[in-house]
Amino acid sequence: SDSDETLKFTVLHTNDNHGRFWHNSDGEYGMAARQTLINRLREQVAANGGEVLLLSGGDINTGVPESDLLDAEPDFVGMSHIRYDAMAVGNHEFDNPREVLEKQQAWASFPMLSANIYKKDTGERLFKPYEIFNVNGVKIAVIGLTTEDTGRIGNPEYVSDLEFRNTAEEAAKVIAEIEANESVDVILATTHMGHYEDGNNGSNAPGDVTLARSLAPGKLDAIIGGHSQNPVCMEPGTNNYNTDFKPGDECVPDQQNGTYIMQAHEWGKYVGRADFEFRGDELKLVSYELIPVNLKEENEDGDKVFIGEEIEKDPALYSILEEFQNKGDEALGNIIATLNGKLEGDRSVVRSQQTNLGRLIAAAQTEAVPNADFGVMNSGGVRDSINAEGISGYDVSYRDVLIVQPFGNTIGRVEMSGAAIAEYLGDVATKQIESGAYAQFSGVNMAVDCAAGTVAINSLGDKDYSPEDSYIFTIPSFNANGGDNYPILDFIDTGKVDADELKRFFETKQVINAADYEPQGEVVYL
Ligand code: ATP
Ligand code: ZN
């Protein structure tokens, strides 16, 4: 459009849904309330002469058993009902086999966008790189981008045929393509790359700030992001976060090199709202806010109360989602064992020391494979504790199991000589502490020399160690395929699913004493 008219449009956005189609036990967030809010915002915007574009920064998958069990169908059905216009492809969209992702694309009434994911064999993109929207007379291109870390942290079984190319280079290329072939007014990116303060991405792949700084000024108008799961609210005019931000506070988005960068924390806790005006050739951000979706705070009496007025749940969407929730509940509520004591899976603990839960999971996998001597388990695959309060007589449900093991890995069976195992464990047992790669062991008695990157093994299962003898061990398919940078193994995929075997382990034992799985100094770190 080349008129002098002022054209208004509003970008609404969420990111990192992670299975949160349903509200939590306090009645916070949830897609039915989100629907009501977005309907309301659409009306407001229209009454003000504007129109809405609704985007998601990706990672719809993984995190809530009711959703995981149904391959996130409720989430994609809910998003379609709310009428999302597009989403970025997140790394967790690769937690399932490709057929599941294809099913999800069919459930979604909107495109999944990513410009930097290529099939290795054909060199073609797996997704549409961008989509053009006409929003209230403004022609807007929306480019999708996915963190380059997906190739590194994603399940190798599902990503090894893909290439996650440099996001900055890919963005520049696609922008040039759009400029050459389409006459658009505005270019936006919906990304799943993470927002890192002042571009300090540490050990992560470069995020939105690096992307914005890499492009020539004016090339990209705004980035609607995800992945780092933070509310991107800055101290005005600085590169620093407003660390005091609370729900309901004013939120100033980041701006780098002329590009706005926005992110709405996670789980649909907020809907981000960016009101733009387009006039002549100029785009102006008129206002921005993060609108809480039924979030609560504690009042003086210590009761949790809604911040602002409660948003009613949209009845039509609620009844659709309720059916999914009930289906999940039924399957997940089954009590499978009694537990005395806490099984430790808090990430701050399980990623830095041997814990009873890490050992128990490794033991469950070892028991599932005939003649296996020991088990290796990545701590990053232990997603939570069971019975956090440590009460005795705790009822363990299938839900607990799926919360701890949501990824649906299969159990790998590996046979190796003692010497080869010593070399393998020298690598695996000395992975970076506090990372998901840090390994939990069952049935391994050894001393680990982290500085030297070696281990001295005493016994494996109930056998003494000998470099010439052959042993069998179990390991999640994720790591056997090279996940967490473990050496890629020649292994037999047993096809047994980790959560199923953990469930079976509980059902077989019936009573679990957490203390029985406490480490007794079998693994010593020198
Ligand atoms: P985000 O939601 O931000 O993408 P993330 O799950 O990728 O988060 P972390 O919570 O730090 O990031 O977890 C990363 C660790 O999770 C990895 O190091 C790995 O140990 C583990 N992990 C990730 N995907 C899988 C998988 N499919 N199977 C087993 N473990 C996994
Ligand atoms: Zn992510």
Q: Give the closest residue (by CA) to ligand 1 atom 8.
A: 227
How does pLDDT run across 112-165, given as a tens digit for each residue?
Answer: 999 999 999 999 999 999 999 999 999 999 999 999 999 987 888 899 999 999
CA distances from 287 to 90, 139, 229, 251 (A): 27, 20, 22, 10
Closest Cα to residue 93, out of 24, 20, 190, 19? 19
With a 6 A CB cut-off, is 227 part of the ligand 1 pocket? yes
pLDDT at position 281 over 80? yes
Mean pLDDT value of segment 284-308: 96
DSSP string, 321-381: HHHHHHHHHHHH--EEEEEES-B---HHHHTTS--HHHHHHHHHHHHTSTT--EEEEEGGG
| No. of helices (H) and no. of strands (E), the chain | 15, 28
Given a cut of 80, whether residue 1 has pLDDT beyond it is no
What pLDDT is recorded for position 141? 98
Residues of the chain with CATH 3.60.21.10: 6-328
CB of residue 294 inside a 6 A radius of ligand 1 = no
The CB density around residue 111, as the number of other CB atoms within 10 Å, is 18
Residues of the chain with pLDDT > 90, as a percent, come to 93
Q: Is the CB of 381 under 6 A from ligand 1?
A: yes
Tokens of 333: 């509520």
The predicted structure's pLDDT at residue 160 = 93
pLDDT at residue 3 greater than cutoff 70 = no
pLDDT beyond 70 at 221: yes
pLDDT at 328 over 60: yes
Q: In degrees to the nearest 10, what's the CA dihedral of 338, 342, 343, 347?
A: 150
The domain 6-328 belongs to what CATH superfamily?
Answer: Metallo-dependent phosphatases (3.60.21.10)
Marked catalytic residue, from 95, 208, 373, 498:
95
Query: For this structure, is 116 an active site residue?
Result: no
Instruction: State yes or no: pLDDT of 409 exceeds 60.
Output: yes
Instruction: Considering the chain, tell me which residue range(s) the CATH 3.90.780.10 domain(s) occupy.
Output: 334-525
Structural contact between residues 455 and 448, judged by C-beta atoms closer than 8 angstroms: yes
Report the nearest atom of ligand 1 relative to the CA of 63.
2
State the pTM of this model.
0.84
Minimum mean pLDDT range among 346-360, 422-436, 494-508: 494-508
Let me know if 500 is exposed, middle or buried by CB neighbors in 10 A (0-12, 13-18, 19+): middle
Residues 6 or more apart whose CB falls under 8 angstroms from that of 397 comprise 332, 333, 334, 335, 336
Q: Which is nearest to 139 in space by CA: 2, 342, 302? A: 2
- How many whole angstroms from 17 Cα to the centroid of ligand 1? 15
**ipTM score here?**
0.94
Give the residue from 205, 181, 183, 209 showing the smallest Cα distance to 195. 209
Report the nearest atom of ligand 1 relative to the CA of 379.
Answer: 20
Q: Please report which confidence band the pLDDT of residue 408 belongs to, taking 50, 70 and 90 as the band edges.
A: confident
| Catalytic entry in 15, 136, 155, 229 | 229
* Distance (Å) from CA 505 to ligand 2 centroid: 31
If you measure from the C-alpha of residue 155 to the centroid of ligand 1, how many angstroms do you get, rounded to a whole number?
A: 9
Judge: domain 334-525, CATH 3.90.780.10. Answer: yes
What 3-state class would DSSP assign to 200? coil
From 13, 18, 20, 359, active-site residue: 18
What's the gap in Å between 118 CA and the centre of ligand 1?
22
265 is catalytic: no
Q: What is the per-residue pLDDT for 157?
A: 85
Closest listed ligand to the CA of 88:
2
Lowest mean pLDDT among 79-83, 86-90, 294-298, 494-498: 494-498
Q: Band the pLDDT of 34: cuts 50, 70, 90.
A: very high
Taking the C-alpha atoms of residue 468 and residue 420, their distance in angstroms, rounded to an integer, is: 9
Q: Please say if the pLDDT value at position 303 is more than 90.
A: yes
Q: Which of 23, 227, 265, 413 is catalytic?
A: 227
Output the pLDDT for position 2: 53
Six-digit token string for 307 = 């911040």
